[in-house]
């Protein structure tokens, strides 16, 4: 098991969903558990997070958030960190991105 990683989590309002943000979140949690990653999801504005994960339902990425000094991983529709990513690969690639930013 790896060390604890505190992940601030922010969702958009899902006004124009191309993906189901809750389903993507559940898949990320499940894959992290199977991979032995100790991710602890916290409210996005909680102090002490190692990373911010923003999950938006469409590519507009309109989820409001303050400017952070911490690293961000952004899922927005079928994109990951503003690059195309198929719906089927979003959870797996998001975990890879989280690991690479730490």
pLDDT attached to residue 2: 59
- Name the more confident of 3 and 34: 34
Handedness of CA 67, 15, 94, 39 (dihedral sign): positive
Closest by Cα among 52, 50, 96 to 74: 52
Q: Are 45 and 70 a contacting pair, CB within 8 Å?
A: no
pLDDT band (50, 70, 90) for residue 1: very low
**Which residue(s) pair with 71 in the sheet?**
51
Q: Are 17 and 61 a contacting pair, CB within 8 Å?
A: no
Which tens digits make up the pLDDT trace of 25-36?
999 999 999 999
Percent of all residues in the chain with a pLDDT value above 70, rounded to a whole number: 96
């Amino acid at each position: 098991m790896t060390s604890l990683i505190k992940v601030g989590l922010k969702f958009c309002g899902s006004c124009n969903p191309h993906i189901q943000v809750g389903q993507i979140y559940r898949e990320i949690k499940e894959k992290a558990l199977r991979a032995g990653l100790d991710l602890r999801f916290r409210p996005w504005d909680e102090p002490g997070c190692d990373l911010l994960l923003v999950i938006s339902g469409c590519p507009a990425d309109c989820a409001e958030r303050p400017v952070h000094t911490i690293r961000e991983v952004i899922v927005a529709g079928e994109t990951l960190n503003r690059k195309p990513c198929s719906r089927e690969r979003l959870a797996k690639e998001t975990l890879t991105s989280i690991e690479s930013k730490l």
